[in-house]
Structure 1
Amino acid sequence: MPSGYRPEIIQRSFIDFIGSQLHPFRSLSVPKLRLIARRALGDDLIALQFEPNRAFKKQAVELRGGWHGGQHINLSVVIDGIYHQRSYSLVGLPQQPIWLSNTSNDSAASNGYDKNNQRHTVTIAIKPQGLISNYLTQHLPLGTVLASSVPNGDFTLEQARLTKPVSSSVKESSFEKRPPLLFIAGGSGITPMLGLITEALQYGHKVTLLYYNRASLLESPFQNHWQHLAAKYPLFSYYCVNTEDPSTYLAGTRHLNASSLLALDLPLADTVIFACGSQALLAGLYRAATEITLPNVHSLTAQPSLRDNIIIERFGNAVSDPDIDQVYDTTADIEERTVYLRGRQQQFNTSDKLLMGAEDAGIRLTYGCRQGICQLCRCNKVSGVVKNIQTGKISSDGYESIQTCVNVAMTDVVLDI
C-alpha cells in the first residue's frame, strides 16, 4: 500500500445521505439555504433572507473568500412534485448589511426579518411573478430548506478587470485615473447593483447610479442604503427616476435615451457602464450608445463606440442589441421543422422552441428554468441547424451541445435524446 494512503472506510456521500434523513439542513458537501425571513420592500419587490448551512459557508466563504457584487445563486425548488431551478441575484456582499428603508407597518418583524443578523445570512430580492418566484415570495413556509449553488456569475468588477485595490499610500488625486462607472438599473434589476456599487466605491471609482422605477425616491426600498453610501463616499451620486413623476425625469423624458445619458455629464468615452433591467431599458441603452458620438483622440484608430463600454447581466433574458427584441424574441417567422429524438425513436414537428415543441407533442424532456439559465435542458445535437432566440446565434450543421429551451429548429434536426 502506498505510503500515506488512507482508504475512506465510510464515504462522505453516505454520511451526507444519512444526515439529510435526520436533518435536511445538514450536509458536508451540498450547499443549502433555510428560509428564515420574508419582507416586503415595496409593491413589487420582496426580500427573502436565508441562513446558509455549513457546506455553503465552507464553499462560498472559506474557500472562495465570499462572493462578488453582481453574482447570483441557483435555487432548486420542488412544486407539486416537479423540480424547478431559478437564478437570483444576491443582495449586497458577505459580512456587509444593506440599509433598507423602514416600511409603514411592522410586517417585517412578524415575518422574522432580522436586520441585525444580515451579516450571517444570504438575501435575495425578487418580484412575486411567475410560478417559482410567486411560490417563493407567497407560499414557501419559513424554515423550508432549499438546495442551492454557490454564488457564481461574471457580472462583476473582477470580470471587467476593475478590481485593483486601493493602497493607503495612494493620493486622492490618483483616483481620477480609475475609470468612472455608471450603473443603470430598472425595477428589480437594482438587486445585483447593490454589491457592485459598494465594491466599486471601496476600490476608489467614481460611481453614478441611474435607477428607473415606478416609485418615488422616498418610497425606494434602498433609499437608506444610497444615503448611507453618499454620506460615506463623496465619489458616489445617484439619480432615481420615477417613471410616473415628470419632476424626476432626466432631460425631460421618462425613458433612457441619448439625452438622459448626456445629462449625467460624465466622460462617457472613459466610463464603464453596467446595466440590468428589462429588454426595453437595455434596448434604449444600446440605441443611445449608438447615437452618441465619442471623440476619437487617436486619428489612426477606428472610431470608438460607447457600445463597447457596456456590460449587461446575462443570466436572465437580457438582450445585447437594440433590435434583438424584434428579431429574435419571436418564433412567428420560423417555419415548422421536424425534430427527431434518436434515443427514443420519436419525432415531432414544431416552429416553437425545441422544449416547448416536444411538450406540445406530449413528449417530456428534462428542463429546469426554461430561460437558458440553469443548463438542465442541455443535450447534444447530432445534425441540423438551430437558432438561439436570446442571442440570435445560428449553429453549425454538425454535432454540438445546445439548450432546448432557447433554441428553435431552422432545418430538420436530430437530437441525441
Structure 2
Amino acid sequence: MANGYRPEVIQRAFVDFVGSRLHPFWSLTAPKLRLLARYTLSEDLIALQFETNQAFRQQVSDWQGGQYVNISVLIDGIYHQRSYSLVGLAHQPLWWHDDIDTKARKNRSNLTVTIAIKPQGLVSDYLTKRMPIGTILNSSVPSGSFTLAQALLAKQSTSIDKHAAADMLKQSAPLLFIAGGSGITPMLGLITQALQSGHQVTLLHYNRTPLLDNQWQQLAAMYPAFTYHLINTEDANSYLAGTRHISTDSLLALDLPLADTQIFACGSHALLAGLHTATNKITLPNGKKLRDHVTVENFGNILPDFYGEQTHDKAEKPGKQTVYLRARQQQFSSDTTLLVAAEKAGIRLTHGCRQGICQLCRCHKISGVVKNIQTGKMSSDGDEFIQTCINVAMTDIVLDV
C-alpha cells in the first residue's frame, strides 16, 4: 500500500503517556508550561513567567500581540481551565532582568511566555500566591482575534474599497488603545507591534494606580508616534476632559483623526459599556458611527448595559425568559447570560473561562432564540450549538443539558 493508510506501529499518545511518567514536562503533542518566576507589577497585578516545552515550541514560533493561552490548573483534585492574555511578544525581552532571564538567555531554545493576573477568584489566587515554582501546567498554543490583523478585517468589512482599507492600516493609520485595570495586559504586545509597524499609537489606561509607567516611558522615548494617558481614577489631576470615566469629551480631547482611527478596548463591562455609549454619539464624515471602529476584548461575566435607548431598539432588550434543561428536567428564568442565570437559580452548568473563549460551556440548543452579547448576533429559532457564558435568551429556549 504505497499511498494508502499506514497505521502507526507505536501510537504517539502511548509515547506521550510513557514519557509523562518519566518526566511530566515531556510530550510529543501536548503544549505545556512550567512556572519559572513571579513578578509584582502592582499591588493588584502579578506577572507569571513560564518556560514552554518542546511540543509548544514545535507548534508555535511566534504569536501576535493581544493573543492569549488557555491553561488547565489542578486545584484540590479538580481541573480548572482559564484564559490569560500574553504580555509582550515572542523573542522580545520584557522590562525586568534577573537570574531567570540570564539563565533563559543562555538557552535560546527555551521560549518563555508571560501572563499577568489580578489575584481574585479561586484560580487566580492559586496561580499568584500558592502554586509552587516549577509547577507544570497543560496549555493551549496562543490564539485569539484581538490583534492588529483583526483591525484590518474590521476596516475591510466597513469599507467599499478593501484595498484602500488595507493600505490605510499598513503604516500610519492611527490606533487608539483603551484599557481598564488588568485589561492592560494584552496591550503591551499590541502596542509594541503597532509601533514597530509604523502606526501612530495613543493609549488610555484607567486604573486606581499607575501601572507599567516605566515601560510606557521607554516606548515613548523610542517611538515619537506613541502618546499615553494614565488615568488614575482616584486622582482628579490625571483626568482627561475633567472626567474619571471614558466619555465623548475625553475621546474628542485626544484630537485624533477619528474617521481613520481604529480603537482597541479591553476591560470591565462597565468600561466597555461606557465606550459603546461614547462612540455611538460620534458620527463620522461618512455617516457611520465611531463605534464601528471598535475591536473589543473583555473579561468577566456581567451582562453589559448595551440595551439603552441610544444604542439598541427597545424590542431587542431581553425580558424574563424561561430556559428548559431537557436532560435534567429543570427550568429557570433568565434575563442575563444563560450561565449567570443558571447559577442564580442554583443550577451548575459546565464552564471555563466565562469569556466565550474556551468553549467548555458549549451546549446544544433545541429551540428558541438567543443573542450573543459580544457580537450582537441573533441565533436562529432552531437546532444549533451555543455558548452559555455569552448568550442571553430572547425567547423561551430549550437546551439539551
**Per the shorter chain, which TM-score range?**
0.7 to 0.9
Partner SS for 1:47: strand
The Cα shift of 1:212 comes to 1.3
* Identity rate, percent: 64
Does the CA-based 8 Å contact 1:214-1:244 persist in structure 2? Answer: yes
Structure index of larger Rg? 1
SS in 1 for 2:91: coil
Is contact 2:25–2:32 with CA below 8 Å preserved after alignment? yes
Query: How far, CA to CA, are the matches of 1:252 and 1:357 in structure 2?
Result: 37
Find the aligned partners of 1:139 and 1:20 in 2 and give their Cα distance: 24
CA contact (8 A) 1:316 1:373 kept: no
Which one-letter code corresponds to 1:348 in the other structure?
A: Q
Quote the residue 1:190 is aligned against: 184
User: Which residue, 54, 78, 81 being the options, matches 1:82?
Assistant: 78
User: Which residue in 1 is equivalent to 2:141?
Assistant: 150
Letter in 1 for 2:331: N
1:339 alignment partner AA: Y
Unmatched 5+ residue regions in structure 2? 154-167
Relative to structure 1, the CA distance from residue 59 to residue 175 in structure 2 (aligned partners, 3 Å threshold; closer, same or farther) is closer
Say whether the 8 Å CA contact 1:183–1:208 is kept in structure 2.
Answer: yes
Q: Confirm or deny that 1:347 pairs with 2:329.
A: yes
CA change 1:389–1:80 in 2 (3 A) is: farther
CA contact (8 A) 1:189 1:277 kept: yes
User: SS of the counterpart of 2:185?
Assistant: helix
- Amino acid of the residue matched to residue 158 of structure 1? A
> In structure 2, how many angstroms separate the alpha carbons of the residues matched to 1:71 and 1:390?
17
C-alpha contact 1:70 1:155 (8 A) present in aligned 2 = yes
Provide the TM-score with structure 2 as the length reference: 0.83
Deviation at 1:47, TM superposition (A): 0.4
Aligned residues: 376
Q: Residue 29 of structure 2 aligns with which residue?
A: 29
CA positional deviation for 1:252? 1.8
- What does 1:249-328 align with in structure 2 at a 5 Å threshold? 249-294=239-284, 296=285, 303-314=287-298, 322-323=306-307
Quickly say closer, same or farther: Cα 1:247–1:113, change in 2 above 3 A: farther
Query: Quick one: distance in 1 between partners of 2:344 and 2:197?
Result: 51
TM-score (norm 1): 0.80
**1:416 to partner: Cα distance:** 3.3
CA deviation vs aligned residue, 1:286-319 (integer Å, no higher than 9, x gap): 222223343x2xxxxx513211111111576597
What is the CA–CA distance in structure 1 between the aligned matches of 2:318 and 2:173, rounded to whole Å?
Answer: 43
SS in 2 for 1:41: strand
What does 1:18-417 correspond to in 2, within 5 Å? 18-61=18-61, 66-100=62-96, 114=101, 117=104, 120-161=111-152, 178-216=172-210, 220=211, 222-294=212-284, 296=285, 303-314=287-298, 322-323=306-307, 334-335=319-320, 337=322, 339-341=324-326, 344=327, 346-352=328-334, 354-355=338-339, 365-388=349-372, 393-407=377-391, 409=393, 413-417=397-401
Does the Cα contact within 8 Å between 1:312 and 1:318 map onto a contact in 2?
no
SS in 1 for 2:363: strand
- Structure 1 residues 155 and 371, CA gap change in structure 2 (3 angstroms): closer
Q: Structure 1 residue 402: deviation in Å?
A: 1.4
Which amino acid is 2:15 matched to?
I
Query: Which amino acid in 1 is paired with 2:297?
Result: E
Taking the aligned partners of 1:315 and 1:214, their CA distance within structure 2 comes to: 18
The answer to whether the 8 A contact 1:382-1:414 is kept is: yes
Aligned equivalents of 2:388 and 2:303: distance in 1? 19
SS at match of 2:42: coil
2-side partners of 1:245 and 1:361: how far apart? 40
Residues 282 and 322, structure 1, Cα contact 8 Å, conserved in 2: no
- Extract unaligned runs of 5+ from structure 1: 103-108, 163-173, 297-301
Question: How far has the Cα of 1:154 moved from its partner?
Answer: 0.5
- 1:178–1:80 distance in 2 versus 1, CA, 3 Å: same
**CA pair 315-188 structure 1, distance change in 2 beyond 3 A:** closer
C-alpha distance 373-115 of structure 1, shift in aligned 2 (>3 A):
farther
Checking the alignment, whether the CA contact within 8 Å between 1:34 and 1:146 is kept in structure 2 is yes
The answer on whether the counterparts of 2:367 and 2:383 sit within 8 Å (CA) in structure 1 is yes
1:318 & 1:237 partners in 2: Cα distance? 31
Contact 1:378/1:401 (8 A) holds in 2: yes
1:156 deviates by 0.4
Indicate how the Cα distance of structure 1 residues 185 and 21 shifts in structure 2: closer, same or farther if over 3 A, else same. same
Q: Would you say the 8 A contact 1:385–1:395 is kept in 2?
A: yes
Structure 2 distance, partners of 1:254, 1:362, is: 37
